[in-house]
Amino acid sequence: MNIPDHPLEIIWDITYACPLRCVHCYSESGRRPSRQLRRADLLRMAEAIVAMKPFGISLAGGEPLLVKELFEVVGRMTDAGIKVALFTGGWTLRPEMLDDIKRGFFRVSVSVDGATAEVHDRVRGRRGSFDRAMGALAMLDGTGVDFGIDFVVVRSNFQQVEQVCTDVVPRFPGLRFVSFGAVVPEGLASRESFAERELLSDAQVATLGDPAYRERLRALVPPSVHVTATDNLALQMHPELLREGRCYPALQIEPDGEVRAMLAYEGTVGNLLTDSPAELWRRAVERWHDPFVVDALTPVRTMEQWAEATRKIDLHFGSAADRDRIARRPALT
Ligand code: SF4
């Protein structure tokens, strides 16, 4: 594939603080130090990201709305003409934030992982989180913000995908999109216990990647709502998928500026506050072709094998602190 000479998209996990405890959390937010920068360095980071001239920036985490300087940081990015998207669990969204959200973000995704409180709250690890997410969607409705639902599909909520389309989406007349993505075996979702209980089967992943299934979901929502469903295999970085051009040329940045080599795997290649962006991108792309990565991913044919490869790559390229955190992960019960 032709790899661009700079990342097309930047994902900045601006904090690892989070009020939720999702069973699949990719970043283990809320369970580890937030590593959030102070104001001056947050603004330096914003300038450094802008200087990379990405097409778009996604602010995720953790819960970005917990960062009190968030709207000042976003302002630096939008002043440079770059579109910024917000990913939130909705728990901390308050009415007084709505004007700033409308000014700062071109798009807001609220995480909803079930059509009912029972399923959503179990997946999201906190009672009341479904009601809070519904409250956040209701607050955004009618404000003119381009907002929608981001749904991580795991085994225990797969059967509610259609119900979200029929029961949840129509509750919000201004809702513009709903995205269903197969859970990626990264972070807590790479645990063996997660793979046994909550990782999708290969057939379920194939369903999510099937255009016919997407069309079926589209028929369930009002015509104004855009539906996407993805198998997320582009995040695997399998050598064969890379050759076919199925990858996501984005750079993921940890809260303190450490830059990940690959979105789904532990291991950083430097810090955006101290290293040149071009050099960081070069090192990241080099990692995609590292012999250890190629050896770990080449045999992968199933979701379980993907989770196994993630565990190998994370232990190999993660820092001592990462390995320590991985060793302390509780089993999913
Ligand atoms: S809301 Fe996001 S960051 Fe927080 S625990 Fe859930 S997946 Fe992790």
Residue 4 pLDDT grade (very low, low, confident, very high; cuts 50, 70, 90) = confident
Q: State phi, psi for 226 to the nearest 5 degrees.
A: -90, 130
- CA dist 196 and 200 (Å) reads 9
Residue 245 pLDDT grade (very low, low, confident, very high; cuts 50, 70, 90) = confident
Q: Is the CB of residue 252 below 6 angstroms from any atom belonging to ligand 1? A: no
How much is the pLDDT for 214? 97
Asked if the model's pLDDT at residue 6 lies above 80, the reply is yes
Inter-CA distances, 139 with 90, 96, 98, 227, 261, Å? 10, 10, 8, 21, 37
Asked if the model's pLDDT at residue 333 lies above 90, the reply is no
* Ligand 1 atom showing the smallest separation from residue 87 Cα: 2
- CA dist 180 and 186 (Å) reads 17
Asked if the model's pLDDT at residue 1 lies above 70, the reply is no
Asked if the model's pLDDT at residue 112 lies above 70, the reply is yes
Probe ligand 1: pick from 34, 58, 87, 124, max atoms within 8 Å of CB? Answer: 124
**Residue 41 CB burial class (10 angstroms; 0-12, 13-18, ≥19):** middle
Nearest to 109 by CA among 33, 58, 49, 45: 58
Asked if the model's pLDDT at residue 132 lies above 90, the reply is yes
Q: Tens digits of per-residue pLDDT, 12-69?
A: 999 999 999 999 999 999 999 999 999 999 999 999 999 999 999 999 999 999 999 9
Q: Is the CB of residue 20 below 6 angstroms from any atom belonging to ligand 1? A: yes
- CA dist 94 and 96 (Å) reads 6
Share of residues in the chain with pLDDT > 90 (%):
96
What does pLDDT average to over the chain?
A: 97
Does the global pTM surpass 0.85? yes
Distance, CA 28 to ligand 1 centroid (Å)?
Answer: 7
Residue 247 pLDDT grade (very low, low, confident, very high; cuts 50, 70, 90) = confident
How much is the pLDDT for 246? 87
How much is the pLDDT for 257? 98
How much is the pLDDT for 130? 98
Probe ligand 1: pick from 21, 29, 111, max atoms within 8 Å of CB? Answer: 29
Probe ligand 1: pick from 20, 66, 93, max atoms within 8 Å of CB? Answer: 20
> CATH fold of 9-327, please?
TIM Barrel (3.20.20)
| Token reading at 283 | 């090192």
Q: Tens digits of per-residue pLDDT, 303-317?
A: 999 999 999 999 999
Name the residue with the closest Cα to ligand 1, atom 7: 25
Distance, CA 125 to ligand 1 centroid (Å)?
Answer: 9
How much is the pLDDT for 266? 98
Domain boundaries, the chain: 9-327
